[in-house]
Structure 1
Amino acid sequence: MAETGIGALLAQLRDDLGWSQQRVAEEYNKAEGRSAMTGKEIGRYERESRVPTSRTRGFLAVVFEVDPLTLDRAAGITKRRKAEGQSLNVPTPRDRLLAPPSRRALAADASASARFSRFIASRNTDACAVEQLDAEVFSLARLYVSRPVSEMYAGIRGLRDEAFDLLRGRQRPRQTSDLYVTAGRLCGLSAHVCLDLGDYACAMTHARTAWACAEEADHNGLRAWVRAVQSLISFWDGDPRTAADFARAGQSFPAPGTAGVRLVSLEARALSMAGDRDGATAALRRAEHARDYLRNEGEMPGMFGFPHAKQLAYAGTTHLSLGDSGNVRQAITCAAAAVDLYRGAAADDRSTGDLRAAHLDLVRGHMLAGDVDAAEAMLTFVLDSPPALLSASIRRRLSGLADDLAATQYRGSSRVAHLRERIKSTAASTALPANDPPEPMT
């Protein structure tokens, strides 16, 4: 191994610190307490046109925080080369690599490793925090089905923004993936808020972000649920064909629990509204088959699940849309069973929207069957509901029912006319304003 002279050693020590020759001279003068050393003189030492004296080497050892003997040995090598007449060229990078690093250089290198270690450890969340966030999301999802949107909006928005902020920071890869799932679920709940308030454009924006989160997390369960949300939005936005497409797309993602039943049920309902009787009937059969073979895998809570009562409510709506007498009878059977199941459920698991939707399907079914008394009883339950529990979809169903009651076969019936006026009055009184009210003048 080639020996390192004083020039290569001094140049290496300076390079380790990233200093200029002038900076070395300034540090030297501080150590010596004088101002005699210059950058040019340091350059002469590095080129070995001069060899620093023993006293000078002592102060240089202080500057570079190395053992003075290291500099003395390097100076001896340079002197021997000169005595032997060897060529003394400017030290090459290879020469510098052969010089041992100084304690200061080693400390700086260790400090860089320590900084990276702190970077690795600097997390803005941990497994417990992510678990707690999930618990809060599931609580919101469960309560959403039974509470007015006005009570849920702030909590969903606040928790969603918290998840966004955490994702903008740093976490372990597994926690990042879990946070994307959580953020996706919260975006989906935000989409439901907009959907229930009748703002379908904003609902779809939230749903697209939920889909982006599902993709980032590579989570098939979330993908399937988001496609179901997008199907719902398209359906109530008056585009049943696109709703059916979203529902079919969601079925390509294997997901546990009732996700498959939800998507097939959405497809059946959308196809029936689009006038595709054969497609709707086939999808209904697939939904019934999927219900029969459901395994108890621990159903997701509230908005993330698709309980038996909701399955029956969707089936009832689909049968009703198909319209013939056999399907109307089946619709009444499904809707009545859904109502019974919801009435028997715990208060927090009783979907106010689906319960009222099933009542309105019973109203339409009984009217088609000629049972006005039964229809009026079901309708009264909905019309007497607190306005905060009447979502945009329920108001749309009411408006559609009012149009149905204007049909020729009901003309001349004062009782039907009265029901129609009650429906129109309720729908009008619960309609949301197109824009927020203006701020008061100050």
Structure 2
Amino acid sequence: MAALATITCIADAVDGDNVQAADVRRCEAMPRTTGTKVERDEVRHALTRLGATPAAVAVELQRRFGLRPREAYRQAHGWTQDAVAAQLNASSAGSAAYTGARISDYERWPVGGRRPTFPALVALATAYGTTPTALVDLDDLAAMPEAERSLLLRSASTASTETPYSPPLAISGEHGRTIRWNVGDLLDETELIIAVTERTAEFGAWAESSNVGPMTIDDVAATTRRIAIDYLTQSPVPIYARTGLLADRVFRLLQTGHQHPDQTRELYIWAGYLCTLLAWMAGDLGHQAAAESQARTGWMCAEMVGDDTLRAWVLSTMSKVHLWDQRYEDAAAVAARGLAKAPNGTVGVMLACQEADAWAEIGAAEPALEALRRAEDARQRAGSDAVGGLLACGEIRHHNYAGAVLLRIGQPVEAIWHADQALTRAVGDPSAAYGTLAQVRIWAASAHVAANSLDGAVEVLNPVLELPTEQRLDTVARRLREVDRLISSKPTLRASPDARGLQAAIREFCAGSVSRQLPA
């Protein structure tokens, strides 16, 4: 009843979309004296022994000690902030986006801390077994953006206080539920990663089917290909959102009926490719656990239809995850496993390059060179790709991998040749991937630094350092840090003002990368 009274008070204080100051003062809560932990635990234990629910305990903690609602619900369960973060991460398919410090920030807002967005309130409400409206008070509502406050109050009038709240990720339409995400309403990329990862993980356990027409499949195929191409040149987060929307559409087609077996097979193939795209993008945004979860769902789709080329692309994604986790031998083994599938298209080139890259990371020159030879053989046999764009290994991407591998194993002259080839082919090619070209320039700069040619390094790196913030991928930032460390290791450069200036520019770039803007 106290929670309902709180919402009534809040609703009375809302005039249209504006919270009136006089009404805020009239509905202000009693002075807050939070008591000691022992006192709060005594109240919780006493009420629990009497059979009270956590919601009733939370109401009493708010009444007796003046706790804010989010803190009251957490303490009603007897959980620490770290425990809540762990539970949210577990329910987000291992995305590992929440921390105890972040939960603390949510509880302190709007007096300090950071605002919990509607998706964050939904996640907390699900964990606590309540509704989002129970986790806010008048101070929260007064400080919220108008659109989010309106959404929250509308949910209060429709959601049952007896039923755990489900995230309103979809809006009913003529053909069923379709997700409508507005990236601008999300606090940061992490909230988006969590939402998409939860959706793909949910689908991974589902194997039903639905009716579709041939035009639907054609549209899914065409849109998937366009997304894969657009990702090479556009900012990653909006493209990730588009991919998540299309993936959800395909998931729901598979979950809501039956169709002819050949149509089912095609839907699973495109669902698998979409999950593979999501996994690759999540890795670029610095979310390796999310990438691994999405790749597992992509593998399930490939297994459902027995498609070796899709299997190979999923394994390519997994090899990338292992590489960035510094599991180099696993990365090489997974890439070799994918190449053994004898897949169609250029994924064979990609897998052989990834195997070479993994061996080069640990200084295994001969296996790396042998893998590069396999990549060249695969290039000679490669046909067209089903998706293309991000899921293709064209000449520029091939030169990028080959040059980076040769540089690591001590062949800088050959490496620079590959850099020149890649950058020459990129001239006048509007579809050339900015991320790939950035990596070419980074390892070319490393070659110049190794030769004590600072001017050459600065010249080749300038276009990378000028990338806009939204295109500063985690993969690019990681490679730039290697250049920074290499400069520090060179006594002849370390004392140079120009070298220190380049290091400062690199560190400023990395501090503003996509991954560094996300909460720890």
Q: TM-score with structure 1 length normalisation?
A: 0.67
1:175 aligned onto 2:271: no
Structure 2 letter corresponding to 1:224: A
Partner of residue 407 from structure 1, selected from 489, 492, 514: 489
Partner of residue 315 from structure 2, selected from 197, 203, 227: 227
Q: Residue 303 of structure 1 corresponds to which residue in structure 2?
A: 390
Structure 2 letter corresponding to 1:152: I
CA distance in 1, matches of 2:273, 2:236: 16
1:317-328, aligned counterparts within 5 Å? 317-322=404-409, 324=410, 327-328=411-412
After superposition, give the CA deviation of every residue in 1:39-91 in whole Å (9 maximum; x if it has no partner): xxxxxxxxxxxxxxxxxxxxxxxxxxxxxxxxxxxxxxxxxxxxxxxxxxxxx
Paired residues of 2:472 and 2:512 also in contact (CA < 8 A): no
CA distance in 2, matches of 1:149, 1:434: 14
- How far the C-alpha of 1:289 sits from its partner, in A, is 3.0
1:427 aligned onto 2:517: no
- What stretches of structure 2 of length at least 5 have no aligned partner? 1-208
Paired residues of 2:231 and 2:239 also in contact (CA < 8 A): yes
Q: Residue 186 of structure 2 corresponds to which residue in structure 1?
A: none
- How far the C-alpha of 1:288 sits from its partner, in A, is 2.4
CA distance in 2, matches of 1:435, 1:289: 41
Structure having the higher helix fraction is 1
CA distance in 2, matches of 1:430, 1:177: 39
Q: Residue 23 of structure 1 corresponds to which residue in structure 2?
A: none
Q: Residue 185 of structure 1 corresponds to which residue in structure 2?
A: 273
Partner of residue 392 from structure 1, selected from 464, 467, 474: 474
Please report the RMSD computed on the Cα atoms of aligned residues, expressed in angstroms.
1.8
Distance 1:433 1:368, change over 3 A: closer
Q: Residue 128 of structure 1 corresponds to which residue in structure 2?
A: 215
Q: TM-score with structure 2 length normalisation?
A: 0.57
CA distance in 1, matches of 2:384, 2:227: 21
CA distance in 1, matches of 2:270, 2:510: 35
Distance 1:257 1:210, change over 3 A: same
1:209 aligned onto 2:297: yes
1:290 aligned onto 2:378: yes
Paired residues of 2:268 and 2:304 also in contact (CA < 8 A): yes
Paired residues of 2:236 and 2:281 also in contact (CA < 8 A): yes
Task: Report the more deviating stretch, 265-274 or 282-291.
Answer: 282-291
Larger radius of gyration: 1
After superposition, give the CA deviation of every residue in 1:263-293 in whole Å (9 maximum; x if it has no partner): 11110011110221121121122222333x2
Q: Percent identity?
A: 31
CA distance in 1, matches of 2:385, 2:357: 26
Q: Secondary structure at the match of 2:427?
A: helix
Q: Secondary structure at the match of 1:302?
A: coil
Task: Report the more deviating stretch, 413-422 or 309-318.
Answer: 413-422
How many residues are treated as equivalent by the alignment?
Answer: 310
Q: Secondary structure at the match of 1:171?
A: coil
CA distance in 2, matches of 1:150, 1:200: 15
Q: Residue 354 of structure 1 corresponds to which residue in structure 2?
A: 436
Q: Secondary structure at the match of 2:467?
A: coil
CA distance in 2, matches of 1:352, 1:320: 21
Structure 2 letter corresponding to 1:315: A
- How far the C-alpha of 1:431 sits from its partner, in A, is 4.9
Structure 2 letter corresponding to 1:340: T
After superposition, give the CA deviation of every residue in 1:123-170 in whole Å (9 maximum; x if it has no partner): 631122111111111111111111111220211000001111111121
After superposition, give the CA deviation of every residue in 1:16-54 in whole Å (9 maximum; x if it has no partner): xxxxxxxxxxxxxxxxxxxxxxxxxxxxxxxxxxxxxxx
Q: Secondary structure at the match of 2:221?
A: helix
Partner of residue 141 from structure 1, selected from 228, 239, 262: 228
